[in-house]
């Protein structure tokens, strides 16, 4: 497996930042998973919010950016990202990701409650 320099890791971090910036909120989802901490489906990135949030987010971003990289290579980059990158840069990544996740979960929340409201409306209609 090829080892990467700090400079290369910082460049990958830049790519992760750009990915979170350019993708719409729905691209990032929270989901409980049994076997995995996260998943990268090419249409979206899912993260189990009960697990290591930061590392999982980096892991899935790296899968998305480098689809040909092996699982062990992705794991190596994930570990290097959290070790090598500046905490300020990491916090910026987290901030952007949190914003997207919030918007994404908020949309789901609204939809869920809208459906509940409609169900209730329909029921009351049937009664009257």
Site residues (vs Zn ion, CB under 5 A): 71
Query: Is 63 in contact with 73 (CB distance < 8 Å)?
Result: no
Shortest Cβ 18–Zn ion spacing (Å): 20
Shortest Cβ 1–Zn ion spacing (Å): 14
Nearer residue to Zn ion within complex by CB, 68 or 71: 71
Rounded distance between C-alpha atoms, residue 43 and residue 94, angstroms: 21
Q: Are strands 38-40 and 45-47 parallel, antiparallel or unpaired?
A: antiparallel
Rounded distance between C-alpha atoms, residue 81 and residue 126, angstroms: 57
Shortest Cβ 59–Zn ion spacing (Å): 6
For the record, the structure tokens of 42 come out as 């090419």
Shortest Cβ 126–Zn ion spacing (Å): 49
Nearer residue to Zn ion within complex by CB, 42 or 88: 42
Nearer residue to Zn ion within complex by CB, 13 or 63: 63
Rounded distance between C-alpha atoms, residue 69 and residue 114, angstroms: 41
Nearer residue to Zn ion within complex by CB, 71 or 124: 71
């Amino acid at each position: 497996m090829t080892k990467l320099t700090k400079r290369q890791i910082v460049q990958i971090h830049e790519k992760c930042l750009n990915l979170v910036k350019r993708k719409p909120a729905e691209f990032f989802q929270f989901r409980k998973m049994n076997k995995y901490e996260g998943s990268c489906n090419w249409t979206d990135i899912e993260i189990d919010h009960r697990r290591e949030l930061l590392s999982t987010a980096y892991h899935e971003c790296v899968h998305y950016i480098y689809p040909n990289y092996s699982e062990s290579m992705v794991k190596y980059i994930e570990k290097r990202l959290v070790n090598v990158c500046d905490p300020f840069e990491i916090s910026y990544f987290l901030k952007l990701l949190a914003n997207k996740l919030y918007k994404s979960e908020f949309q789901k929340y609204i939809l869920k409650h809208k459906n509940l409201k409609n169900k209730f409306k329909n029921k009351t209609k049937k009664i009257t």
